[in-house]
Structure formats: C-alpha cells, structure tokens
Amino acid sequence: MRRKLIAGNWKMNGGLAANESLLKALMASVEVDVSEPVVSSEVLVCVPALFLAQCAELLAGSKIAVGAQDVSAHKSGAYTGEISSAMLADYACKYVIVGHSERRAYHHETDEVVAQKALQALRLGICPIVCVGETLEQREAGKTFEVVAMQLQAVMDVLDEGALARIVVAYEPVWAIGTGKTATPVMAQEVHAHLRSLLAQRDETVASKLRILYGGSMKPDNAVELMAMPDIDGGLIGGASLNAADFLAIIRAA
Ligand code: PEP
C-alpha cells in the first residue's frame, strides 16, 4: 500500500511570524492525529527557500517534513540567484517541487530543464515532486494525456529505474490551480491511471509503488473524494496549506 503524502506548497507567501504560528498550529494537531493509525500519512510543507532554516528548526523532531519549491538544474557555480540541491540538503530538505506550472509558465522551464532539476535533487538524496499538467486549452483540445506523457517522459528519460523509484509525481491541471475549479475525482483518476500506466511500461514494480499526488484547488470539502480514488496518493496543496484548519482537515481526509 502506498503511504499518502500531503504536501503544502506555500508559494511566495509567509513571513517569520506567520510561519511560526502556522507551523505551531499544525504540529500541535499532527502529533496527535497522525501518530495513531497504522497507515499514517506523510506531511510536508514546501516553503520559500529563505524560510528553510527557520522552518527546519521549528519542525525538527516533529512529524512534518520540510521541502523546497524549486532547485537549480546545475550543480554549483556562476548561476546568480540559484539555489543548489546541496544547499537544500544542508537545510534538511527531504523534498523539492520541480516543474510547477507557475515555474514552467513564468520562468520558461522546459521539460528538459525540469528533468535536470529532478536529477540534481536525487543526486543529494532529495525527493523531487515532479509536477505535470495540462492547460485548459490543451484539455479542451483533447491533449491532456499527450501533454502529461511528454512531461513525464522527459524525466523518465534521464533516470534509471533506481532513481525513478525515488520520485513523486504530482498531477496538477493548470486550469485548477488557484482557481477554485477542481478536476472531478473521476477526471483526476483517469489521468493518474494514465500516468501510472506510462510508468508501468518502464517498470511495473516502480509504477505500483510510486506516489502520484493530485494538486489543484484541493480543499477540505473535496479531499476525501479525491483521495478515495485508487491512483490518487495524496495532494499537493497551495492555498489551503496556508490555513492551519484547512490543511489539517485535508491531512485528516487522507
Ligand atoms: C499548487 O500551487 O500546487 C496548487 C495546487 O495550488 P492550489 O491548491 O491553490 O490550487
């Protein structure tokens, strides 16, 4: 059975005081709620890089892991403003989001760049959460499967089976991110199943164990239905992860 992963993506939000109160509220409940069941979910917050030190310190010894929202495609050197995977590893980062649609759209990240980022993360033992997803235009043109397949293939092309087994995939339809529109559980499941079948063509064992998260306006009121789908192994949550009550409700739903 795949252990569910509930990952918050704070995006460019937060501040020292706000982070502390949000994390303290989360820790107070997560320690109680998630410690009981046999199959407990994994909980993660992906925070702005500048807050990694603060969040890693606050979360040390807790059941909530800390992750980043991006990593450089390069190892080190003259890349002003970039943050390397080695730097993330220094701050106890367990996960990093790569290929979020906002980075693909606003920072022109190609599938190949995203694949290099995943490689750099894995090099330092950090799990990349590889985001894939179609725009509304692509969905309406019937190209959803084709688009997500190309995005995933670029990553599969650079990873051997051992490395592939260590990634997480997040299906995030672009039209559902931050819009309040959610893919229905059936729509999401179709794409998740497609992604898993592509992975299975490469390696069936890896495909059966690899977690595929859903992201796109996941909220307390739709989380249960989405995560009840057989191929939805958790959520990547933007807006609702900034509110302790909402994020905790999603964790409970998992
Ligand atoms: C995201 O940014 O990854 C996301 C899913 O955002 P939201 O939950 O706000 O749609």
What homologous superfamily does CATH list for 5-14+40-253?
Aldolase class I (3.20.20.70)
Beta bridge partners of 5: 42, 234
Confidence bin at 178 (pLDDT 50/70/90): confident
Burial (Cβ within 10 Å: 0-12, 13-18, ≥19) of residue 25: middle
Rounded CA gap, 174 and 243, in Å? 22
Report the predicted TM-score, pTM, of the whole model to 2 decimal places: 0.96
Choice from 182, 236, 242, 250 to test ligand 1 binding pocket (greatest atom count within 8 A of CB): 236
The domain spans of the chain are 5-14+40-253
- Ligand 1 pocket (Cβ < 6 Å) reads 9, 11, 172, 177-178, 215-218, 236-240
**pLDDT exceeds 90 at position 235:** yes
b/e map 82-103, b = 16+ CB within 10 Å: ebbbebbbebbbbbbbbbbbbb
pLDDT in the model for residue 38: 40
**pLDDT exceeds 50 at position 39:** no
pLDDT tens per residue, range 104-161: 999 999 999 999 999 999 999 999 999 999 999 999 999 999 999 999 999 999 999 9
| Percent of all residues in the chain with a pLDDT value above 90, rounded to a whole number | 92
Atom 1 of ligand 1: nearest residue by CA position: 238
Indicate which atom in ligand 1 lies nearest the CA of residue 215.
5
3 CA distance to ligand 1 middle (Å): 21
Indicate which atom in ligand 1 lies nearest the CA of residue 217.
10
| Residue range 161-174: mean pLDDT, rounded | 97
pLDDT tens per residue, range 54-105: 999 999 999 999 999 999 999 999 999 999 999 999 999 999 999 999 999 9
| CA distance to 100, 123, 189, 230, per residue, from 213 (Å) | 13, 22, 10, 11
Indicate which atom in ligand 1 lies nearest the CA of residue 235.
5
pLDDT in the model for residue 182: 85
| Residue range 192-218: mean pLDDT, rounded | 97
Atom 6 of ligand 1: nearest residue by CA position: 238
- Residue 131 makes CB contacts below 8 A (sequence gap 6+) with 97, 98, 99, 100, 101, 169, 170, 172, 215, 236
- What is the DSSP code (8-state) at residue 3? P
8 CA distance to ligand 1 middle (Å): 8
**pLDDT exceeds 80 at position 176:** yes
Residue in the structure block whose two tokens are 């993360």 = 121
Q: What is the mean pLDDT of the chain?
A: 95
Asked if residues 68 and 49 have their Cβ atoms less than 8 Å apart, the reply is: yes
Which of these, 94, 105, 157, lies nearest to 131 by C-alpha position? 105
- So which residues are the catalytic ones? 100, 172
219 CA distance to ligand 1 middle (Å): 10
Choice from 95, 217, 222, 226 to test ligand 1 binding pocket (greatest atom count within 8 A of CB): 217
